[in-house]
Structure 1
Amino acid sequence: MFRPLSLFIGIRYIAAKRRNRLVSFISLTSMLGLALGVCVMIVVLSVMNGFDYEMRTRVLGMVPQAVLESTQPVANWEQLIAQFKQHPGVTAVAPLTQIQGLLTHQGQIQTVQLSGIEPALEARVSIIGEFFREGALDSLIPGEFKLLLGDRAAKALGVGIGDKITFVAPEATITPAGIFPRLKRFTVAGIFHSGAGEIDGHLALAHQQDIARLLRFSPGQVQSLRLAFADIFAAPNISWQLARGLSGDWFVTDWMRSHGGLYQAISVEKRMIALLLLLIVAVAAFNIVSTLVMVVADKKADIAILRTMGASSPQIMRIFIIQGSLIGVIGTLVGVLLGCLGAENLSLAVAWLERLLGIQFLDAGVYFIDYLPSRLQMADVLLISSAALILSFFATWYPAFRAARTQPAEALRHE
């Protein structure tokens, strides 16, 4: 005979028989419920991991991790770059001059932050060079007043490569004829698409020497210095350390101030969603309790016969623990398989559905990216599957204990 006996009987009780198809159906629904809970938890956590990853790599790879700005234009910025790079936590430094204003073209207006950069150094502190659809950072040549623009801003203004566009600075020039805004004509030399709405719609890049002339700085002067760090979470402390070592009045702005709230919101949402989904998995796992209670009630006569044939209480308990554990193992494995497949293909599936329906689920004007990211992490899969298996195992103890207390004479009285 098949050994061990408890495993043999536990497996047979899962299979459908003529007398207990309802019990087998309930066992199947318990498996499916557990599988669905595990699958949903893996997919949702993968989406939250995707948002977290895109926030840290894409968005924080393009916005300044920290900016040191002086109250006066900085002339010795090359010396400061060499000084800052000696700090072990600083990976790159680049000059930055920023001015907010309006871009206009044929009656269309778009608010932008115009950043003056040094193309060769900008590539070391930003990954924006990876997202150009047309043009490149090298397209910016001093004195030619060329402009690199996000695709959302270009679409709003109706411009393309080679078009002339006017920048309206938030300052006025007083002349004998009156007060006139400060205007400057630029030529669109490149268009980029990062997927981040606020960047694609409100960021424009020009050469730092051109912006210095627009702001009437002396030749060679910049407004601030942009820093990149090996550990982005160390950016606030390191930037303040560097600022305290400089003479004059300096201000520090880091990503924790500009985008820290969004990053913290993603982290908190991930933890809360994980907790709520774990409760769903727990409910699905404890459906095994009701399944096994019905099995015990249906199998009272079988239990009594086994007891009269010499089966001990621990053997009876093991039968139902094995049955419930098998339901949990099968449900968890199915859920893990479906969850991993869903997480790996979710971005492609959503993109295909958007093209099919002609709609966009994530609007870049509302969210910080315009696509649904998914990043599967094996640590999450192991944690979710372990939690499901543990909950399934503990869910078997109460029905198994009731089965072990079955009295043969009482159970066979009405048979």
Structure 2
Amino acid sequence: MKLAWQLARRFRQAKQKNRYISFISFSSTFGIGLGCFVLITLLSVMNGFERELTQRILAVIPHGELYSISNEGIEKWPQVVKTLQSDTRIASVEPYTKITGMLQHKAALKPVELTGLDVSGASHDNWLEQVTPAAWQRFVKQPDGVLLGQGLVNKLQLKTGDTLSVLVPVTTDDLAFKAPKMVKLTLVGVLSIGGELDNYLGMMHLGLASQAANITSGAQGVRVMLNDPFAAKSVMREIGFDFPQAVYMSDWTRTQGHLYNDIQLVRTVVYIVLTLVIAVACFNIVSTLVMSVREKRAAIAILKTMGAQDTLIRQAFMLQGLTNGIIGIAAGTLMAVLIAPNLSIIVKAIENLFNTEILSGDIYFIDFLPSQLETMDVVVTVVVAIILVVLATLYPASRAVKVAPASALNG
């Protein structure tokens, strides 16, 4: 193996004297490095989006819901909450009542979805990340208080302390509409979740929401937060099928699952496309080594006449190609490892420099480019790139072994 390394190094030094071969060799190294760098960086961005989805959206949106099919609500909901809390898969459970209506302030009307929560019973640590502590304290102390999304507050030009009206539709048993019920609320704070949720989401107290929705039991349903939110679909169906009364079952994949599916789709497309970019760069290694074999036919013939085995010659040319590939892989991976964790800062600096905005908080659920470097992404990318480089060296190395000493020396 030591002799093979020496031959590979000599062949590589001789190759650098030929500018054309040297250029193709450099382009293959550059292409592989660029492919590794972009692939690891974009996978880190996808990881960042998935992290923000979990920490932002899924901190506010319940992982699962069970809600009554009638206005009677959940029977004996305190006992139901206590039973579900004993399930090790569940992080927290809380009763809720959801009302949908029109939010009125002066002459303006906006659709709103208000969730009534029991602020005294369950833990609301996740909500504290979306509102200021002062706003949360005001909300807890004021029975008619409401927290509204930032988008709603901006569109209606609201400020803390404003009195609002919510028009809740009322239906009869024959599905005829009556005059809407009006609920008076006071704005005590702002929810900042991000994206479209800020344009219609709000929180109010459970008792007032149940009264407005005519829920006789006091709670329309129960909201469940799981230790593993990505198991929500199976867990909620298992719980729902064993529930003592008829309920509807829902989970976050039905309402916000498109965000997660989009992230996974982009991740898959990015991986396939950039792996093909690395594969195309590896074709340049094939071209470089094939030309190197043709240029070194005489040297190969002399080595064979001196007793060199086919294995030695094959290893020499494979190591020559591997050197180009590994240099590119190492350079691209090193750049990605240095840049990917700091990508958010770099992009923010670019936005400030050019006075532009890459992600708008009005459209997306975040207004910055997130990034989270995962060791497994780096390992998989490096392994796949090395495998492609090794495969690219097989054909030229086999051509080198087939060189006939007699014809090569005579030619």
Match of 1:186 in 2: 185
Aligned match of 1:258 in 251, 255, 258?
255
Task: Report deviation, 1:310.
Answer: 4.1
The 5 A counterparts of 1:186-335 are: 186-195=185-194, 197-217=195-215, 221-335=218-332
**C-alpha separation in 1, matches of 2:40 and 2:56:** 23
Task: Give the percent of matched residue pairs that are identical in Structure 1 and Structure 2.
Answer: 35
Match of 2:164 in 1: 165
Tell me whether 1:58 sits opposite 2:56 in the alignment: yes
Match of 2:35 in 1: 37
For 1:32, the aligned partner's letter is F
For 2:94, the aligned partner's letter is A
Match of 1:116 in 2: 116
Match of 1:84 in 2: 84
SS of residue paired to 1:283: helix
Runs of at least 5 residues in structure 1 that lack an aligned partner in the other structure: 174-178
For 2:99, the aligned partner's letter is I
SS of residue paired to 2:129: helix
For 1:188, the aligned partner's letter is L
Task: Report deviation, 1:115.
Answer: 0.9
**C-alpha separation in 2, matches of 1:345 and 1:412:** 57
SS of residue paired to 1:6: helix
Task: Report deviation, 1:205.
Answer: 0.8
Cα 1:19/1:261, change in 2 over 3 Å? closer
Structure 2-normalised TM-score? 0.88
For 2:138, the aligned partner's letter is S
SS of residue paired to 2:93: strand
Task: Report deviation, 1:111.
Answer: 2.1
| CA RMSD of superposed structures (Å) | 2.8
**C-alpha separation in 1, matches of 2:136 and 2:365:** 23
Task: Report deviation, 1:144.
Answer: 3.9
Per-residue Cα deviation, 1:171-230 (whole angstroms, up to 9, x for no partner): 499xxxxx85433332221123223x1222221111112323433556x71221111223
Match of 2:175 in 1: none
Task: Report deviation, 1:335.
Answer: 1.3
Task: Report deviation, 1:358.
Answer: 3.4
Tell me whether 1:145 sits opposite 2:156 in the alignment: no
Q: Is the contact between residue 64 and residue 255 of structure 1 (CA under 8 Å) also seen in structure 2?
A: yes
Q: Is the contact between residue 92 and residue 122 of structure 2 (CA under 8 Å) also seen in structure 1?
A: no
Aligned match of 1:49 in 36, 47, 51?
47
**C-alpha separation in 2, matches of 1:91 and 1:55:** 18
Aligned match of 2:384 in 387, 408, 414?
387
Q: Is the contact between residue 15 and residue 21 of structure 2 (CA under 8 Å) also seen in structure 1?
A: no
**C-alpha separation in 2, matches of 1:235 and 1:312:** 61
Q: Is the contact between residue 134 and residue 191 of structure 1 (CA under 8 Å) also seen in structure 2?
A: no
How many residue pairs get aligned? The number is 404
Task: Report deviation, 1:258.
Answer: 2.1
For 1:86, the aligned partner's letter is S
SS of residue paired to 2:357: coil
Runs of 4+ in 1 over 6 A off after TM superposition: none
Per-residue Cα deviation, 1:111-164 (whole angstroms, up to 9, x for no partner): 22111112244545x723212247343322466411112222222222232333
Aligned match of 1:6 in 4, 7, 14?
4
For 2:168, the aligned partner's letter is A
The 5 A counterparts of 1:62-73 are: 62-70=60-68, 71=70, 72-73=72-73
Match of 2:335 in 1: 338
**C-alpha separation in 2, matches of 1:246 and 1:39:** 50
Task: Report deviation, 1:165.
Answer: 3.0
